[in-house]
Amino acid sequence: MWNSLRRWAARRSAPHEHTTGNNVVDNIGGSVQAGHIEQVHLHTPAPPRARPPAESSPGDPHRSLSTWQSHALVEPQELVHVQEVVAELARAIANPTSTAAISVSGAGGLGKTAITHAAVQQVATSEHFTHVVWASAKNTRFSNAGQGDASVDSIYWHDVLRMIAAQLNCPLSPNQALWEQELTDYLAGAPADTRALVVVDNLEVVHAADRVFERLGALGLRHPHVVVVTSRWAVVDEGTDVRDFRIVPLTPAQTYDLVRLLAADTGSDLGTAQDEDLAPVFGITEGNPFLIKLITRRFIVTGRSLERVISELRSVADGKLGGRVRTWLFDRSLDELSARFSQEDAVGLLFSFCASGRGDSLTYHELRAESGVASDDRFESLLETACRLSLVRPSDRNRRYSVHSLLYEYTCPLAWQRQGA
């Protein structure tokens, strides 16, 4: 997407061509890997040890409450400033009369995985479920054959089925084509008191998030079972019985607390820094825990000033820190926006924010006029999708819109380059 933006900026008045989703989906790697950046918990003393979950016994294949831990690649540690949302999520998961489908959504780096993991830990030590399953969808891809097509790519989908079946103690045959029916039959024949909690984590191929509930429900994972999905895509469509937990950034005060806590006992003077000294950290991170941790640890390890570390983060040169962060935080969502509409529409919407200063917002009508999108209906749908992807953030009761300061820093030089060409 970013190479496309550069090419777009280089065009002058050349005719625009619409692109389809088939040539914009990019399998992103890079040296800033998910295993390193989705750890939003803090390395602080662990809370008192909870009662260990009930173990599955060899004679009782219909209970499994502990094996999920080996599939969840999150080191459980104490979280800060999220206790309330963890508790609320745990209550929603455990409530037998609640919805059977829950999404935990928000921008990259806000701690969706860690918060969900903490909530599941609370629930797994209770008697609410007979099985707890954790399946990582990091390498999972649903078919993009059509926007309304619920089919899934067989190879990646079967990886998820295999993880779920293994933790449910459901035997599968060597023939993958039979796995869905075998899992369906197994669930249908389970004891009446069976209640499974299934978490599908890191569903970052976001167009799949609103399909995974339907797909798993068709296999039998519906009430009284519960399915939880973590994704950047907020599943809030009308007609779907999905409860969405939106994870929000930290406040300025919480940001400063996190910096000082991370720097405590390191010998760094950030551990005792005043709020006004740490204001630039919130200014560039806007309360994103991943970015706060990245800046703090880079400051401690490299001996560089905050100004230099923040400058590195703003750089979009390929292979540099800012470029790698940009790739992980924004590229997937930008590719999804282009796939659902067109590259022209996606770029037009992003470039609209460059008409104002960093941190400023636009009204709906200002944004509509700047975007250049052909029709009101198409713009309405484009803006809704960008908000659900956490690329655009509504405020003032959804009357004004803005983008993250880093997205502004990464995008607007390209827009200005285009204007000056």
Average of per-residue pLDDT across 263-282: 94
| Dist CA 181 CA 348 (whole Å) | 45
Q: Which of 295, 218, 243, 316 is closest to 6 using CA atoms? A: 316
Q: Which residue has the higher pLDDT, 253 or 50?
A: 253
Q: Which residue has the higher pLDDT, 36 or 402?
A: 402
Instruction: Give yes or no for residue 40 having a pLDDT over 70.
Output: no
pLDDT in tens, 96-126: 888 889 999 988 889 999 999 999 999 998 8
pLDDT in tens, 181-215: 999 999 999 999 999 999 999 876 545 667 788 88
Q: CB–CB of 245/89 below 8 Å?
A: yes
Average of per-residue pLDDT across 144-155: 38
**Structure token pair of residue 296:** 């703090």
Q: Which residue has the higher pLDDT, 63 or 95?
A: 95
Of 31-40, 143-152, 246-255, 385-394, least confident by mean pLDDT is: 31-40
**% of the chain residues with pLDDT over 90:** 45
Q: Please report the DSSP string for 238-288 in residue order.
A: TT--EEEEE--PPPHHHHHHHHHHHHTTTT-GGGG--HHHHHHHHHHHTT-
Q: What is the pTM of this model?
A: 0.75
Mean pLDDT in the chain? Answer: 78
pLDDT attached to residue 162: 92
pLDDT in tens, 356-370: 776 689 999 999 999
In sequence order, which residues have a C-beta less than 8 Å from that of residue 183 and are 6 or more positions away? 161, 164, 165, 168, 170, 172, 219, 220
Sheet with strand 400-402: strands edge to edge: 362-363, 400-402, 393-395
Going by the DSSP 8-state scheme, the letter that residue 69 receives in this structure is G
pLDDT in tens, 302-333: 989 999 999 988 886 555 788 888 888 888 78
